[in-house]
Amino acid sequence: MKIISYNVNGIRAATAKELHNWLKATNADIVCFQETKAQIEQIPILLFEELGYKTYWFSAQKKGYSGVGIISKIEPTHVEYGMNIEKYDFEGRMIRADFGDTSVISVYHPSGTTGDARQAFKMQWLADFQEYINNLKKQHPKLIITGDYNICHKAIDIHDPIRNANSSGFLPEERLWIGSFIDSGFVDSFRHFNKEAHNYTWWSYRANARPKNLGWRIDYQMVSLPIANQMKRALILSEAMHSDHCPTFLDIDF
């Protein structure tokens, strides 16, 4: 199973940049989207259906904001929209598709960059998300949690760890959370296969950051331990240029 996760920073903007043609070439089985920024009626569903995908979307109530989706060439046995926590589901931040006994999640963790209130919201989300996943694992132990986590785990995951030490996305408490999340029973699939520096998934639009590769690795595909030994390879597809993020790729046998 070839799984792609992609924060598209607007599904309509990305398709205007030929996202669908790129997807046709990659021929992934499952694609998880974050930050779709569209209501269901605004999403170009037909473009994905023409590529052979079933599509599932969970939009924010606020127009032009957040939103996640999963498209799949294999029909899921069940799709779950949201976490059943109103303040988070209002923002359209998580969708889960079950494929037999394996579940694939597309999640868009909040950013805390706009101020203290949103940083506090982010930290509360992280605590509640951990609790939600702990409970979910009791019924669905085989999980692949893809998405934009809005956190760099270690210094190797950010181009300038010294200057960004107090930046949202690289705060000590955020890094501690993602470390404890992995320790709760997950494998960071990319780092399982690749220990090298200078591998990023997001670049600021400012200061010519992407051509200079001044980036952050904030997008992950976390695989739960019961299926971690079924991973074949994991990649960052940095050549894709439809967003300020680039996709992550996971090849896993399930």
Element housing 144 (H / E): strand 142-148
- Determine the Cα–Cα distance for residues 195 and 101; give it in Å rounded to an integer: 30
Q: Which residue's structure tokens are 């952050």? A: 216
Task: Report the CATH number that the domain containing residue 104 is assigned in CATH.
Answer: 3.60.10.10
pLDDT at 98: 98
pLDDT at 88: 98
CB 11 within 8 A of CB 249: no
pLDDT at 173: 98
Catalytic residue flag (residue 251): no
Pairing of strands 2-7, 30-34: parallel
pLDDT at 218: 98
Contacts of 122 (CB under 8 A, 6+ apart): 109, 110, 111, 112, 150, 168, 174
pLDDT at 83: 97
| Residues of the domain holding 10 | 2-252
Q: How far lies 126's CA from each of 93, 101, 151, 206, in Å?
A: 12, 25, 11, 28
* Mean pLDDT (10-residue bins), the chain, 254 residues: 98 98 98 98 98 98 97 98 98 98 98 95 98 98 98 98 97 98 98 98 96 98 98 98 98 95
- Number of domains into which the chain is organized: 1
pLDDT at 47: 97
- The one catalytic residue in 148, 157, 188, 219 is 148
